[in-house]
Amino acid sequence: MIYQKILLSSVLFIGLTLTSVVLAHGEIHPRIEKLTTEITQHSSTELLLKRGLLFRDDNHLNKALRDFKTVLHDDVNHVDALYFAAETALILGKIKEANTFTTRFLKQIKKQTKGATHAKAYRLFAEIYAAQGKLDSSIVFWKKSLALQAYPIPNHWLKLAALQSQQNDYTAALATLQQALARLGDNVSIQDAILETALKAKSYPVALAIIEQQLAKSASLRTVILLLKKSDTLYLADQAILASNIKQQALEQFKQLPSNKKHSPVALSIQQQLASNL
């Protein structure tokens, strides 16, 4: 499914008790070993949570989940541990556990007024419902999450639009993506998704408008690619003469490229497209 092709978004640290640190892969193992020694000598929820996060960074997700569960064994209402346990279980495909931890997490933050924190809980529920195939519920929770995010992540908009497209509700998907573009500005991934969705919906004026926006800021081979997209879209819109003219423009642009830009696999593929049906 389209939704499943969009990777789980980057971990958003909850920011309640810890400071997130991004470590290079080579730096993680010594830190884990050091924390393991400290935990052996004097275990604490803080040390276990830190080690769990390092295990996550090192892609040892089961070990990370084990540490988060150990924290929760000692402190059943530890908000950070509940959040990271829920998200890690979700990544592992342990949907039932993810749902349990997310429910407990939301219960603990109910008294908080920070929208961003509630947004994280709603995002987790959206992911969980999507994994269960409950698309309507997932869409509801994505909307609730996005409404509370001060700076929404592009990937979250894309996931919501993908779910709407799965339901063949291209009008809703386009509305979601256009709202995202209004909030985020010229975001290429959002623009590409609008183009793809508009073509599926046969909303050719919308598709052409996006292509024009991208052409205004393009150069080199990217311009050739966009002109070809414009030509293809015009053909779909039954504007064959104009489409042919645009394709000729693409060919002229390609000829003007430096020779070192014409021999990559992408360039050779473009050249074949330009040679067809001229």
Instruction: Return the pLDDT at 240.
Output: 96
C-alpha span between 194 and 181 (Å, rounded): 9
Closest listed residue to residue 101, CA positions, set 113, 114, 89: 89
Instruction: Return the pLDDT at 186.
Output: 86
| Torsion angles phi and psi, residue 42, rounded to 5 | -155, 90
Q: Which amino acid is at 194?
A: I
Interval 175-201: pLDDT, tens: 999 999 999 988 999 999 999 999 999
C-alpha span between 56 and 50 (Å, rounded): 10
Confidence of residue 2 (pLDDT cuts 50, 70, 90): low
Residue 181 sits in the same domain as residue 107: no
Question: 192 lies in which domain range?
Answer: 168-217
C-alpha span between 258 and 150 (Å, rounded): 44
The count of structural domains within the chain is 3
Closest listed residue to residue 161, CA positions, set 148, 174, 144: 174
Residue 188 sits in the same domain as residue 271: no
Residue 179 sits in the same domain as residue 160: no
Q: What would the two tokens of residue 8 be?
A: 């789980």
Q: What would the two tokens of residue 24 be?
A: 């290079």
Residue 142 sits in the same domain as residue 5: yes
Roughly how many angstroms between the first and final C-alpha of the chain, as a whole number? 36
Residue 85 sits in the same domain as residue 129: yes
Confidence of residue 274 (pLDDT cuts 50, 70, 90): confident
The pTM of this model reads: 0.81
Question: C-alpha angle 185/171/181, rounded to 5°?
Answer: 5
Instruction: Return the pLDDT at 111.
Output: 74
Residue 71 sits in the same domain as residue 191: no
Residue 29 sits in the same domain as residue 124: yes
pLDDT at 11 over 70: no
Interval 39-83: pLDDT, tens: 888 889 999 999 999 999 999 999 999 999 999 999 999 999 999
Residue 8 sits in the same domain as residue 80: yes
C-alpha span between 120 and 112 (Å, rounded): 13
Instruction: Return the pLDDT at 14.
Output: 38
pLDDT at 114 over 90: no
pLDDT at 6 over 60: no
Please state the rounded mean pLDDT for residues 90-112. 94
CATH of the domain at 132: 1.25.40.10
Name the domain boundary from 167, 200, 229: 167
Instruction: Return the pLDDT at 19.
Output: 36
Interval 132-150: pLDDT, tens: 999 999 999 999 999 998 8
7-16, 66-75, 170-179: least confident range:
7-16
**% the chain with pLDDT above 90:** 73
Average pLDDT in the chain? 89
Instruction: Return the pLDDT at 187.
Output: 93
Instruction: Return the pLDDT at 113.
Output: 63
Q: What would the two tokens of residue 137 be?
A: 């519920």
| Torsion angles phi and psi, residue 115, rounded to 5 | -65, -35
Question: C-alpha angle 222/228/229, rounded to 5°?
Answer: 90
C-alpha span between 185 and 191 (Å, rounded): 10
